[in-house]
Amino acid sequence: MSETASFVDPVFLARFGLTRINAIDYFLHPLNPFRTKAKTSNEVLSMQGMNIGTLMAWGTGTRPGPLSLEDGEDEYRVALSRLTGEQYELLPLANMEGMTPQQLAALFTIRHVHRTSVNQTKVLGIYYILEGVIYKSPSVRGLMKAHITRTLEGLSEACDALSVCARYDPSTGYIWKFEPSADDEEDDDALLYNVQEKKKRKRRRILDNRRPGER
Protein backbone atom coordinates (compact mmCIF):
# COMPACT_ATOMS: atom_id res chain seq x y z
CA MET A 1 0.00 0.00 0.00
CA SER A 2 1.23 3.47 -0.83
CA GLU A 3 2.58 5.54 2.06
CA THR A 4 0.40 8.41 0.85
CA ALA A 5 -2.82 6.39 1.29
CA SER A 6 -5.36 7.46 3.91
CA PHE A 7 -8.72 6.47 5.38
CA VAL A 8 -11.63 8.45 6.79
CA ASP A 9 -15.18 7.48 7.78
CA PRO A 10 -17.45 10.57 7.77
CA VAL A 11 -20.40 8.56 9.13
CA PHE A 12 -18.49 7.48 12.26
CA LEU A 13 -17.16 11.00 12.82
CA ALA A 14 -20.59 12.58 12.42
CA ARG A 15 -22.27 10.09 14.74
CA PHE A 16 -19.69 9.60 17.51
CA GLY A 17 -17.08 12.30 17.02
CA LEU A 18 -13.44 11.48 17.67
CA THR A 19 -11.77 11.61 21.07
CA ARG A 20 -9.02 9.73 22.85
CA ILE A 21 -11.74 7.48 24.27
CA ASN A 22 -12.84 6.05 20.90
CA ALA A 23 -9.72 6.61 18.75
CA ILE A 24 -8.80 2.89 18.92
CA ASP A 25 -12.35 1.89 17.96
CA TYR A 26 -12.16 4.26 15.00
CA PHE A 27 -8.86 2.77 13.88
CA LEU A 28 -10.30 -0.77 14.12
CA HIS A 29 -13.03 0.18 11.63
CA PRO A 30 -13.67 -2.86 9.37
CA LEU A 31 -13.04 -0.79 6.24
CA ASN A 32 -9.74 0.68 7.44
CA PRO A 33 -7.10 -0.75 5.05
CA PHE A 34 -4.32 -0.17 7.58
CA ARG A 35 -5.67 -2.48 10.29
CA THR A 36 -4.42 -6.04 10.53
CA LYS A 37 -6.59 -8.94 9.44
CA ALA A 38 -5.63 -10.91 12.55
CA LYS A 39 -7.66 -10.76 15.74
CA THR A 40 -6.16 -8.15 18.04
CA SER A 41 -5.96 -7.93 21.81
CA ASN A 42 -8.02 -4.74 21.56
CA GLU A 43 -10.92 -6.73 20.12
CA VAL A 44 -10.55 -9.32 22.88
CA LEU A 45 -10.87 -6.57 25.52
CA SER A 46 -13.78 -5.04 23.63
CA MET A 47 -15.67 -8.35 23.73
CA GLN A 48 -15.13 -8.28 27.49
CA GLY A 49 -16.72 -4.83 27.62
CA MET A 50 -13.41 -3.15 28.41
CA ASN A 51 -12.22 0.04 26.74
CA ILE A 52 -10.94 3.42 27.87
CA GLY A 53 -14.46 4.76 28.33
CA THR A 54 -15.69 1.91 30.56
CA LEU A 55 -12.47 1.98 32.59
CA MET A 56 -12.96 5.69 33.21
CA ALA A 57 -16.54 5.11 34.35
CA TRP A 58 -16.13 1.97 36.45
CA GLY A 59 -12.41 1.67 37.13
CA THR A 60 -10.88 -1.67 38.11
CA GLY A 61 -10.86 -3.89 41.17
CA THR A 62 -7.79 -2.18 42.56
CA ARG A 63 -8.61 1.26 41.21
CA PRO A 64 -12.32 2.09 41.49
CA GLY A 65 -13.84 4.71 39.25
CA PRO A 66 -14.55 7.23 38.12
CA LEU A 67 -11.06 7.74 36.68
CA SER A 68 -9.54 10.61 34.76
CA LEU A 69 -8.78 10.24 31.06
CA GLU A 70 -5.08 9.80 31.77
CA ASP A 71 -5.73 7.12 34.42
CA GLY A 72 -8.20 5.35 32.13
CA GLU A 73 -5.57 5.16 29.39
CA ASP A 74 -3.02 3.80 31.87
CA GLU A 75 -5.38 1.03 32.96
CA TYR A 76 -6.12 0.17 29.33
CA ARG A 77 -2.40 -0.17 28.61
CA VAL A 78 -2.03 -2.42 31.67
CA ALA A 79 -4.89 -4.62 30.41
CA LEU A 80 -3.23 -4.89 27.00
CA SER A 81 0.11 -5.82 28.56
CA ARG A 82 -1.49 -8.93 30.12
CA LEU A 83 -2.37 -10.28 26.65
CA THR A 84 -0.14 -11.47 23.83
CA GLY A 85 -0.47 -11.10 20.08
CA GLU A 86 -1.05 -8.10 17.85
CA GLN A 87 -2.20 -4.94 19.60
CA TYR A 88 -2.81 -1.26 18.90
CA GLU A 89 -1.57 1.18 21.51
CA LEU A 90 -2.72 4.78 21.80
CA LEU A 91 0.49 6.62 22.61
CA PRO A 92 0.14 9.00 25.56
CA LEU A 93 0.55 12.74 25.30
CA ALA A 94 3.43 14.45 27.05
CA ASN A 95 1.14 16.66 29.12
CA MET A 96 -2.65 16.42 29.02
CA GLU A 97 -3.28 18.92 31.79
CA GLY A 98 -4.34 22.30 30.54
CA MET A 99 -5.12 21.07 27.00
CA THR A 100 -8.50 21.92 25.51
CA PRO A 101 -10.79 19.21 24.05
CA GLN A 102 -10.00 20.55 20.58
CA GLN A 103 -6.27 20.11 21.18
CA LEU A 104 -6.77 16.60 22.53
CA ALA A 105 -8.82 15.62 19.46
CA ALA A 106 -6.51 17.13 16.84
CA LEU A 107 -3.91 14.37 16.62
CA PHE A 108 -3.68 10.76 17.77
CA THR A 109 -0.66 8.47 17.40
CA ILE A 110 -1.29 4.72 17.30
CA ARG A 111 1.41 2.07 17.47
CA HIS A 112 0.90 -1.42 16.06
CA VAL A 113 2.90 -3.99 18.04
CA HIS A 114 3.23 -7.74 18.44
CA ARG A 115 3.49 -8.55 22.14
CA THR A 116 5.13 -11.76 23.35
CA SER A 117 5.30 -10.89 27.04
CA VAL A 118 4.60 -8.05 29.46
CA ASN A 119 7.89 -6.32 28.64
CA GLN A 120 8.64 -7.57 25.11
CA THR A 121 7.02 -6.06 22.04
CA LYS A 122 7.97 -5.68 18.40
CA VAL A 123 6.80 -2.56 16.59
CA LEU A 124 5.02 -3.42 13.34
CA GLY A 125 3.95 0.08 12.32
CA ILE A 126 3.03 3.55 13.49
CA TYR A 127 -0.06 5.44 12.37
CA TYR A 128 -1.55 8.81 13.14
CA ILE A 129 -5.03 10.27 12.95
CA LEU A 130 -5.07 13.91 11.94
CA GLU A 131 -8.42 15.69 11.95
CA GLY A 132 -10.21 12.36 11.53
CA VAL A 133 -8.03 11.08 8.67
CA ILE A 134 -5.84 8.02 9.27
CA TYR A 135 -2.35 7.98 7.74
CA LYS A 136 0.58 5.60 7.95
CA SER A 137 3.72 7.15 9.34
CA PRO A 138 6.50 6.97 6.72
CA SER A 139 9.53 4.82 7.41
CA VAL A 140 13.04 6.25 7.81
CA ARG A 141 13.97 4.62 4.51
CA GLY A 142 11.03 6.26 2.75
CA LEU A 143 11.89 9.69 4.18
CA MET A 144 15.56 9.38 3.19
CA LYS A 145 14.60 8.22 -0.30
CA ALA A 146 12.23 11.17 -0.78
CA HIS A 147 14.79 13.72 0.47
CA ILE A 148 17.58 12.30 -1.71
CA THR A 149 15.31 12.22 -4.77
CA ARG A 150 14.31 15.87 -4.32
CA THR A 151 17.94 16.88 -3.78
CA LEU A 152 19.12 15.07 -6.91
CA GLU A 153 16.31 16.56 -8.97
CA GLY A 154 17.28 20.07 -7.81
CA LEU A 155 20.97 19.47 -8.60
CA SER A 156 20.09 18.06 -12.02
CA GLU A 157 17.92 21.07 -12.89
CA ALA A 158 20.66 23.45 -11.70
CA CYS A 159 23.26 21.70 -13.87
CA ASP A 160 20.93 21.77 -16.87
CA ALA A 161 20.31 25.50 -16.39
CA LEU A 162 24.03 26.24 -16.11
CA SER A 163 24.90 24.12 -19.14
CA VAL A 164 22.85 26.48 -21.33
CA CYS A 165 25.00 29.41 -20.17
CA ALA A 166 28.36 27.71 -20.81
CA ARG A 167 30.34 28.68 -23.92
CA TYR A 168 33.59 27.26 -25.20
CA ASP A 169 36.20 29.15 -27.16
CA PRO A 170 39.40 27.38 -28.35
CA SER A 171 41.57 30.35 -27.40
CA THR A 172 40.10 31.16 -23.98
CA GLY A 173 38.40 27.91 -22.93
CA TYR A 174 35.04 27.83 -21.19
CA ILE A 175 33.26 31.05 -20.29
CA TRP A 176 29.86 31.86 -18.79
CA LYS A 177 27.29 33.99 -20.59
CA PHE A 178 24.26 34.59 -18.41
CA GLU A 179 22.81 37.30 -20.70
CA PRO A 180 22.66 35.84 -24.21
CA SER A 181 22.93 38.14 -27.20
CA ALA A 182 20.87 37.95 -30.37
CA ASP A 183 23.59 35.87 -32.04
CA ASP A 184 23.32 33.24 -29.32
CA GLU A 185 19.57 32.72 -29.53
CA GLU A 186 19.79 29.89 -32.06
CA ASP A 187 22.53 28.17 -30.06
CA ASP A 188 20.50 28.58 -26.87
CA ASP A 189 17.44 27.05 -28.51
CA ALA A 190 19.49 24.06 -29.67
CA LEU A 191 21.06 23.61 -26.24
CA LEU A 192 17.69 23.91 -24.53
CA TYR A 193 16.22 21.31 -26.88
CA ASN A 194 19.09 18.94 -26.14
CA VAL A 195 18.66 19.43 -22.40
CA GLN A 196 14.92 18.72 -22.61
CA GLU A 197 15.49 15.59 -24.69
CA LYS A 198 18.12 14.42 -22.23
CA LYS A 199 15.70 14.87 -19.32
CA LYS A 200 12.98 12.97 -21.20
CA ARG A 201 15.31 10.04 -21.87
CA LYS A 202 16.47 10.06 -18.26
CA ARG A 203 12.89 10.11 -16.98
CA ARG A 204 11.91 7.25 -19.26
CA ARG A 205 14.89 5.23 -18.12
CA ILE A 206 13.93 5.76 -14.47
CA LEU A 207 10.28 4.87 -15.05
CA ASP A 208 10.50 1.71 -17.14
CA ASN A 209 14.15 1.06 -18.09
CA ARG A 210 13.40 1.32 -21.83
CA ARG A 211 16.40 1.66 -24.07
CA PRO A 212 16.70 4.93 -26.05
CA GLY A 213 14.62 4.69 -29.22
CA GLU A 214 12.09 2.21 -27.83
CA ARG A 215 8.44 3.21 -27.75
Express each pLDDT in 166-176 by its tens digit. Answer: 777 777 777 77
Mean pLDDT, the chain, as a whole number? 83
Nearest residue to 32 (alpha-carbon basis) of 1, 6, 4: 6
Whole-number pLDDT of residue 215: 47
pLDDT at 204 over 70: no
Check pLDDT > 60 for residue 185: no
The answer to pTM > 0.85 is: no
pLDDT tens string 69-111: 999 999 999 999 999 999 999 998 877 677 777 777 889 999 9
Angle between helices 140-165 and 185-208 (to 10 degrees): 160
Q: State how far the Cα of 183 lies from the Cα of 33, in Å rounded to an integer.
A: 60
DSSP of the chain, one letter per residue? --TT-EE--HHHHHHH---TTTHHHHHT-TT-TTS-SSPPHHHHHHHTT-SHHHHHHHB-SSSBS---HHHHHHHHHHHHHTS-EEEEEEPPPS--TT--HHHHTTEEEEEEEEESSSS-EEEEEEEEEETTEEEEPPPHHHHHHHHHHHHHHHHHHHHHHHHHHEEEETTTEEEE-SS--GGGHHHHHHHHHHHHHHHHHHHHHHHH-PPTT--
Contact assessment for residue 50 and residue 79, using Cβ atoms and an 8 Å cutoff? yes
DSSP code per residue over 83-100 = S-EEEEEEPPPS--TT--
pLDDT-wise least confident of 14-23, 112-121, 150-159: 150-159
